[in-house]
Structure 1
Amino acid sequence: MNTLILRTVAPFITALMLLFSVFVLLRGHNEPGGGFIGGLIAASALAIYGIAYGVSAVRRAIRFHPMSIAGFGLLVAVVSGVISVFAGVPFMTGLWIYPTLFGVEVPLATVVSFDIGVYLVVVGAITSIALALEERDHD
C-alpha cells in the first residue's frame, strides 16, 4: 500500500503521533497513559512511516538499532528502581527531587525515569519486530 497519498501524509501523521506519544508518556501516573501506551503509539507511528517509505528510511530516522534503544530503556528502568535501594528504601520506591530551573521549582521523580525506560523498551522492541517483519515481506 505505497500510494502517493500515504507517502504525502505519512510524515505529518508520524510527527503528530510521536508528539502525542510523548504527551501520553508524560501524563502517565496522574492520568491514564504512561510509558507502555506511549511506546505503543510511537512504535505505531514508526510502522506507518515504514509502510510509506520502507525499512531503510525508518532505520535512518531512528539512527540507532531498535534493540539498542530497548536495551538502553531497560537500563534506565532498572537504574530507576535501584536508586531507591541506595537511598535506603525498598526497591522501586518512588523518590522525588525538586531542582530549580530558571526560577521555577520542577519536581522530578524516579517514577518518570522508569516510565521513560519502559517507553524506550516498548519502542525499541516493537519497532524491531515490525522492521523484521517488513524486511521479510520484501524478500
Structure 2
Amino acid sequence: MNSVILQIAEKYIRWLLLFFALTALLRGHHFPGGGFIAGLLAGLAVVFRSLAYSEEKVFRDFPVRPVTLLSAGLIMILLSFLPAWLTNRPFMTGVWVKPVLPLAGELKLGTPLVFDTGIFLSVTGVILLFLFSLKIPEKWK
C-alpha cells in the first residue's frame, strides 16, 4: 500500500506496539506467557510496517535477518537451562540473582527472564520469516 495516512499512523502505532511488547516481556518473567505475547506484539509491529510500506523496504531496513533472531532465541532458551544444571538443581528450575544498583536498589534477575527473552526472539523471528517468505519468496530460494 502507499497510503500516507497509514504511513503516518504506523510511526506511532509501531512504537506503541514495541512498548507493550517490552512491557509484556519484562512483566512475563514473574508471570507465565510474557515472552510469547511480547514476540507476537513485536512481530505485529513489523507486519504493520510492511502494510504501510513495501515488504522489500522493510526487509532492507530491518537490521537482523529472521533466521538470526530465531537462532539467537533458541540459543538463549538453551542457555537458560545451564544455571540450574550447574547448581545441581532440577531441570528448568529458576535461578535468581539480586544485584544492588546504586540508584535503582535491588534488581531481581533470573533464568525465567532469559528463557522469556529467548521465546520473544524465537516468536518474532518465526513471524518475520513467515512474512518475508510469503511476500518476498525469491529472497528465500
TM-score (norm 2): 0.88
Q: 1:37 matched to which residue of 2?
A: 37
Separation in structure 2 between the aligned mates of residue 58 and residue 43 of structure 1, nearest angstrom: 12
Q: State the SS of the aligned residue for 2:88.
A: coil
Alpha-carbon contact 2:24-2:37 (below 8 Å) kept: yes
Separation in structure 1 between the aligned mates of residue 5 and residue 119 of structure 2, nearest angstrom: 33
Alpha-carbon contact 2:56-2:136 (below 8 Å) kept: no
Cα displacement (A) at 1:55: 2.1
Q: 2:101 matched to which residue of 1?
A: 101
Aligned AA (1:57): K
Q: 2:114 matched to which residue of 1?
A: 113
Separation in structure 2 between the aligned mates of residue 54 and residue 78 of structure 1, nearest angstrom: 35
Q: Could you tell which deviates more after superposition, 58-67 or 43-52?
A: 58-67
Identity %, equivalent residues:
37
Q: 1:86 aligned to 2:83? A: no
For structure 1, the residue ranges without an aligned partner over 5 or more in a row are none
For structure 2, the residue ranges without an aligned partner over 5 or more in a row are none
1:50-69 paired onto structure 2 within 5 Å? 50-69=50-69
TM-score (norm 1): 0.89
Q: State the SS of the aligned residue for 1:94.
A: coil
Cα displacement (A) at 1:42: 0.7
Q: Could you tell which deviates more after superposition, 18-27 or 97-106?
A: 97-106
RMSD over equivalenced CA pairs, Å: 1.8
**How many equivalent pairs are there?**
137
Q: 1:16 matched to which residue of 2?
A: 16
Q: State the SS of the aligned residue for 1:7.
A: helix
Separation in structure 2 between the aligned mates of residue 25 and residue 61 of structure 1, nearest angstrom: 24
Separation in structure 2 between the aligned mates of residue 26 and residue 134 of structure 1, nearest angstrom: 31
Cα displacement (A) at 1:126: 0.8
Q: State the SS of the aligned residue for 2:91.
A: coil
Alpha-carbon contact 2:80-2:112 (below 8 Å) kept: yes
Separation in structure 2 between the aligned mates of residue 57 and residue 15 of structure 1, nearest angstrom: 18
Aligned AA (2:66): P
Cα displacement (A) at 1:33: 4.3
